Structure 1
């Protein structure tokens, strides 16, 4: 299955912001369980994309949520590279 079409929905600015916010949540706010971080990043990515584009379409929704969730995957990738596969 070819998923390269998802590259059109990847927004680096939103990924960067969500990556930073997700890092702060994970390492500073212990009262938020880790299982809710992807949900928070998806909603934050959606809100940021709507704020940036000032409109709501299916592409805006998908782009925002995809970028927010991509930030959690990026964090996990960096964590695995730094800590090594255990």
Structure 2
């Protein structure tokens, strides 16, 4: 698989926007369960990437993937900064 083709669809602005939306959801809105945040970010990423890159199946799918990747990026950064918790 050629990963260089992924750079054609990667939009940093969408990734950062999803990261910010996810952080706000996690810290400010207690009524949103954590298990729904990845799904919300996938939808937000799909919509934002469709707006930025034009409406197509590819841009919607890659936008959803960027929304999910922002969830993983947040978790990786949190684990790196806070360290691995004992017993986890």
TM-score by length of structure 2 reads: 0.84
Match of 1:10 in 2: 10
Write the mapping of 1:1-86 to structure 2, written as runs, cut at 5 A. 4=3, 7-8=6-7, 9-53=9-53, 55-86=54-85
1:5 positional shift: 5.8
After superposing on structure 2, the runs of 4+ consecutive aligned residues of structure 1 that deviate more than 6 Å are none
User: 5+ unaligned residues in a row in structure 1: which ranges?
Assistant: none
Say what the alpha-carbon RMSD is for the aligned residues.
Answer: 1.8
Q: Matches of 2:16 and 2:42 in 1, distance apart? A: 13
Scaled by the length of structure 1, what TM-score is found? 0.86
Equivalent residues, number: 84
Larger radius of gyration: 2
